[in-house]
Amino acid sequence: MSSTGTGIQPPPQVIEAARSPVMASAFAARTKVLPILELALLIAASIAPLVLRDYITVYATRVLILCLFALSFDLVWGYAGILSLGQSLFFGMAGYAVALLSRDFGVESIFAVLPAGSLIGLVAALLLAGSLLLGRHPSSVVFVSLGTMTGAYAADRLARGSHYLGGQNGIPSIPPMTIGSHEMSEGPGFYYLVLAILVLIYLMSRFLLRSQFGLALAGLRENEQRIAFFGYKVQHLKAIIFAISGAIAGTAGSLYAFHEGFVWTNMLGVVMSTQVVLYVLFGGSGTLIGAVIGTAIVEGLSFWLSDNYRDIWPIILGVLLLLVIMFRPLGLISLVLGERERVGHFGPGVKEKRNAAP
Amino acid sequence: MPLLEAVDISKVFGKLTALDGAALTVGEKEFHGLIGPNGSGKSTLMKCLAGALVPTRGKVTFINTDVTSLTPPERARAGMSLKFQITAVLPTLTLYDNILLALQARSSLLDLAFSRSRGRLHEEVMTMLLQFRLADRAFDAAATLSHGQQQWLEIAMALACRPRLLLLDEPTGGMSLEERRVTGELLQPIKQHCSLVIVEHDLDFIRDICDRLTVLDQGKVLASGTVAEIQVNRSVQEIYLRRA
């Protein structure tokens, strides 16, 4: 194996030119919509409980938890091209697990239940990845999507039939989560807790997706076969992102269980899995902010529509979703975000670009 | 010991026998052309070499290792690199990122997650782009390139994996005369460190850059030898005259 880079000896002027930063200056002129959008949403979310009535804040908390869940699906579908139609499996299993921890062991501390929830999601996703993704040869999208959906469907059925898991009714009256001696009941306190977790996980995902690992994922999504010929172990990449996504879904599931105060079989099944697909498609997959916006708008709309058009609101919502998917297949986010910024770039960092600006 | 040795390669698709006992030997730093009429099995043989297809019968040895049943990533890691017949650059990524993606394939996952090899690889990426005359487009999406430029980008990506052997399937397909000439120039310096197997319809191009040729016809090797030998070979002349 050649040890001198590509092994080619380029003429000296080529090396000189490669060191020059002029090449990067093309970036400098482009305006950035994404950071502005992210900041605006963060500010809006931070002041929301101050201006909203309490029952809406409670509803908004649930929406934030669902945003976290949507992020987990966006990571696998929007960034790695794995169509997981069983994302609710991790969400629901974590929800049930923390409900059982509380019911049978009296554990409600946030420092126990949240890690437990993420761990359950992570392990479940790894197990599923082991059977669906980690063959010697890459598995097809259809195989993975049907496999994950079957998993969710089976879990839903099992939970319905299990006396231990409360059958059709699920597990009711979960006591509040605790931080030390403080009980987290629904309201602004819980809202800010969820917001903080969402922002933290959002930033961590953002960091990962903009790293060279993110570039490998972009390659995976665009042309899996091509990057295998570069030497990437595509099955491993998929399993890793799938596991991370499972952990995030698990975190969301455990928060959801304590916020709602009960868990039931829908959390595990295809209803929830489908819902999260809609959130992400509506907002725009392949951008983290798209998943958040999609969830917030779909949930916000259903809240408002169901208040004002009591009987036909699901039809109106369905038509709206259809319109977006027909005319904006890249989601609402594509109204404000160009392709270049959506895909992003992984080359020279911000610092180099700044130096390059004339 | 040759770098690559493929012996008795057969590939059967249902009733169609695409390859019937073909063979190929490529030495170190040798440019080897694979020619033959349409449907003679050139692309199939390339795919069997790269691991995109598993031959029905036969054995491929690469750097003294039997690679016949290895997957494409395993072969890539062993030092083999393929440029597809249909251009397969990643259209929404920038040229820079296309090359970086190829270069970083051997970084560890932890290095990737914390972008530790990004700085180190910057110079290499730009050198590749400059060499393939694409540096001024570095931060445009690959989809915006002309067809010929996309082919160059692909060759650059295939080379970025630092292969010992580069497999090029019709690199000049759809190129203008000028672009072909430049492609020939771009490939010359590779010889210092890398062997090449190239499938190509343009015989002038092949004659200019290759050391040895193998001629396939109906899945079998018709002739193999230096360019001069093949040029005077009667049966080769016949098949090309027959089809002309």
Question: Is residue A120 a contact partner of residue A299, using CB atoms and an 8 Å limit?
Answer: no
pLDDT digits (tens, 9 = 90+) for B232-243: 888 888 877 665
**CA A168 to CA A322: how far, in whole Å?**
32
**pLDDT for position A21:** 45
Sign of CA dihedral B50, B54, B60, B63: positive
> What separation in angstroms does the CA of B102 have from each of A27, A234, B35, B150, B195?
22, 13, 28, 15, 19
Q: Match 């502005």 to its residue by tokens.
A: A36
| Contact: B124, A5; criterion CB under 8 Å | yes
| Contact: A230, B105; criterion CB under 8 Å | yes
| Contact: B126, A23; criterion CB under 8 Å | yes
Interface predicted TM-score of the whole assembly (ipTM), two decimals: 0.83
B216 min Cα distance to partner chain A (Å): 25
pLDDT digits (tens, 9 = 90+) for A125-137: 999 988 888 877 7
B102 min Cα distance to partner chain A (Å): 6
Grouping H, G, I as helix, E, B as strand and the rest as coil, residue A81 is: coil
pTM of the full structure:
0.85
A243 min Cα distance to partner chain B (Å): 15
Question: Is residue B219 a contact partner of residue B55, using CB atoms and an 8 Å limit?
Answer: no
The overall average pLDDT reported for chain B is 88
Region A23-52: mean pLDDT is 78
**pLDDT for position A307:** 87
- Angle at A57 (CA atoms; ends A54, A60), nearest 5 degrees: 160
From chain B, pick out residues whose CB is under 8 angstroms from the CB of A346. 97, 100, 118
E-only strand ranges, A122-256: 177-179, 182-184
Closest CA to A346 of B133, B236, B99, B17: B99
pLDDT digits (tens, 9 = 90+) for A168-197: 889 988 888 999 888 888 889 999 999 999
Q: Which residue of chain A comes nearest to B138, CA vs CA?
A: A23
Closest CA to B146 of B171, B179, B187, B100: B179
| Contact: A347, B194; criterion CB under 8 Å | no
Ordered DSSP codes for A296-325: HHHHHHHHHHHHHSTTTHHHHHHHHHHHHH
pLDDT digits (tens, 9 = 90+) for B45-96: 999 998 888 999 999 999 999 999 888 888 888 899 888 767 688 999 999 9
**CA B198 to CA B21: how far, in whole Å?**
19
**pLDDT for position A139:** 78
